């Protein structure tokens, strides 16, 4: 191993005079040489003081003498050879290398952001698809109860009209499938206006306003297929789990019953206030577009009803169908599905 050499100041411990010296470590002794100074203490009789911020490094020599040096790297190499102050050196380096500290912080922030952006939706999807259909029943019941109390009133649609639409819904549900307890419910809702939403168990609610808004039952079939799309892709549970976070997902998966009830109570906020993410709406539109193409050879009925919904809704109203993403983008994608110039996917 080569000798280690560095410049330092020697203090004899009696006067405050600093003697410039060269220090050489040969593996056994520190050889300290300068004007009027010549010392060769054994290294085991010397002590390297722990580093203190940006202060000069200090090596205590036998008797009262000491060396001070600005050559921190040399002292660190010396310590490395002696196996001294390793932990402290690491702390000191962290302290000194603020860039590393900042980089660690930035890494942590980036990790958290990436977790929220991708990790959480991924976990939420896993949890949503792992949630047994039987568990979605009490969640949906509780959610509908809250919605009935806060936003919905009994429907005024004539029973014959309801039966017609229920039959159409049964065809859509049977075609799209997925093993859910599908059921179409009607409600009047001056608060929500023309609207529709799907509960995770397969219950789809149409407002009277939506039924009146449609000019053609194929438009309502398009909305049914869109809502069934939300059911089979488990969008409401995914959105709910994403919003509530990992803790709730775990308690659902381990079968915590109180969480199931509180989930049901939180679901209306997802459906009525927050709405779905852009990706979820587009995915439900793809399910609906595919159904319409199979049965009518066109996606136009859904485009038409989306357009009319956008016109009917005040922008400030909670909006389940048309605000997010923007209706023109959704119509354009449905048009492209029909033209076969794209399958609606990106």
CA atoms within 13 A on the CB side of 326: 3
**Residues numbered 209-268 forming contacts with Zn ion, rule: CB under 5 A:** none
Question: Of 314, 34, 263, 16, which Cα lies nearest the Cα of 128?
Answer: 263
DSSP 8-state secondary structure symbol assigned to residue 43: G
If the CB atoms of residues 85 and 239 are measured against Zn ion, the closer one turns out to be: 239
If the CB atoms of residues 198 and 263 are measured against Zn ion, the closer one turns out to be: 198
The token duo for 169 is: 């819904």
If the CB atoms of residues 76 and 281 are measured against Zn ion, the closer one turns out to be: 281
**Residues numbered 298-337 forming contacts with Zn ion, rule: CB under 5 A:** none
CB of 229 to Zn ion, least distance (A): 8
**Residues numbered 266-285 forming contacts with Zn ion, rule: CB under 5 A:** 281, 284
CB of 236 to Zn ion, least distance (A): 10
CB of 275 to Zn ion, least distance (A): 8
If the CB atoms of residues 51 and 301 are measured against Zn ion, the closer one turns out to be: 301
CB of 320 to Zn ion, least distance (A): 6
If the CB atoms of residues 65 and 268 are measured against Zn ion, the closer one turns out to be: 268
- d(Cα 19, Cα 17) in Å, to the nearest integer? 6
Q: Taking a C-beta distance cutoff of 8 angstroms, is the pair 33, 48 a contact?
A: no
If the CB atoms of residues 239 and 259 are measured against Zn ion, the closer one turns out to be: 239
Q: Is 297 left (phi over 0), alpha (psi -120 to 50) or beta?
A: left
CB of 303 to Zn ion, least distance (A): 14
Q: Taking a C-beta distance cutoff of 8 angstroms, is the pair 270, 240 a contact?
A: yes
Question: Of 217, 209, 244, which Cα lies nearest the Cα of 321?
Answer: 209
Q: Taking a C-beta distance cutoff of 8 angstroms, is the pair 273, 318 a contact?
A: yes
If the CB atoms of residues 264 and 275 are measured against Zn ion, the closer one turns out to be: 275
CB of 288 to Zn ion, least distance (A): 9
Backbone dihedral angles phi then psi of residue 269, each to the nearest 5 degrees: -65, -40
CB of 276 to Zn ion, least distance (A): 6
Residue 29, beta-bridge partner list: 42
- d(Cα 206, Cα 298) in Å, to the nearest integer? 23
153-184 b/e with 16+ CB inside 10 Å = b? eebebeeeebeebeebbeebbeebeeebebbb
- Edge-to-edge strand ranges of the sheet holding 203-207: 153-154, 183-188, 203-207, 196-198
CB of 212 to Zn ion, least distance (A): 19
If the CB atoms of residues 58 and 196 are measured against Zn ion, the closer one turns out to be: 196
Residues that bind Zn ion (CB under 5 A): 281, 284
């Amino acid at each position: 191993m080569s000798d280690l050499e560095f410049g330092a100041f020697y203090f004899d411990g009696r006067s405050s005079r600093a003697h410039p010296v060269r220090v050489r470590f040969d593996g056994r002794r520190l050889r300290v040489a300068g004007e009027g100074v010549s010392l060769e203490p054994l290294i085991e009789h010397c002590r390297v003081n722990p580093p203190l911020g940006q202060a000069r490094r200090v090596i205590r020599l036998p008797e009262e003498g000491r060396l001070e040096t600005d050559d921190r790297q040399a002292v660190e190499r010396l310590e490395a050879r002696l196996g001294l102050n390793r932990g402290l050196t690491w702390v000191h380096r962290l302290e000194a290398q603020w860039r590393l500290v900042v980089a660690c912080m930035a890494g942590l922030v980036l990790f958290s952001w990436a977790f929220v952006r991708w990790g959480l939706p991924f976990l939420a999807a896993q949890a949503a698809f792992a949630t047994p259909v039987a568990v979605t029943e009490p969640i949906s019941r509780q959610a509908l109860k809250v919605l009935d109390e806060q936003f919905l009133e009994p429907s005024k649609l004539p029973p014959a009209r309801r039966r017609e639409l229920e039959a159409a819904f049964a065809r859509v549900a049977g075609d799209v499938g997925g093993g859910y307890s599908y059921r179409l419910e009607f409600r009047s809702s001056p608060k929500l206006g023309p609207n529709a939403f799907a509960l995770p168990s397969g219950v789809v609610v149409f407002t009277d306003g939506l039924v009146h808004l449609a000019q053609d039952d194929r438009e309502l079939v398009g909305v049914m297929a869109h809502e069934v799309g939300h059911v089979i892709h488990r969008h409401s549970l995914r959105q709910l789990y994403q919003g509530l976070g990992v803790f709730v997902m775990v308690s659902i998966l381990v079968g915590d019953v109180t969480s199931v009830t509180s989930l049901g109570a939180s679901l209306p906020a997802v459906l009525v206030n927050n709405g779905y993410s852009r990706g979820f709406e587009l995915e439900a539109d793809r399910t609906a577009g595919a159904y319409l193409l199979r049965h009518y050879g066109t996606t136009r009925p859904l485009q038409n009803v989306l357009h009319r919904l956008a016109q009917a809704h005040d922008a400030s109203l909670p909006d389940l169908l048309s605000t997010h993403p923007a209706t023109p983008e959704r119509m354009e994608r449905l048009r492209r599905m029909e033209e076969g110039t794209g399958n609606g996917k990106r």
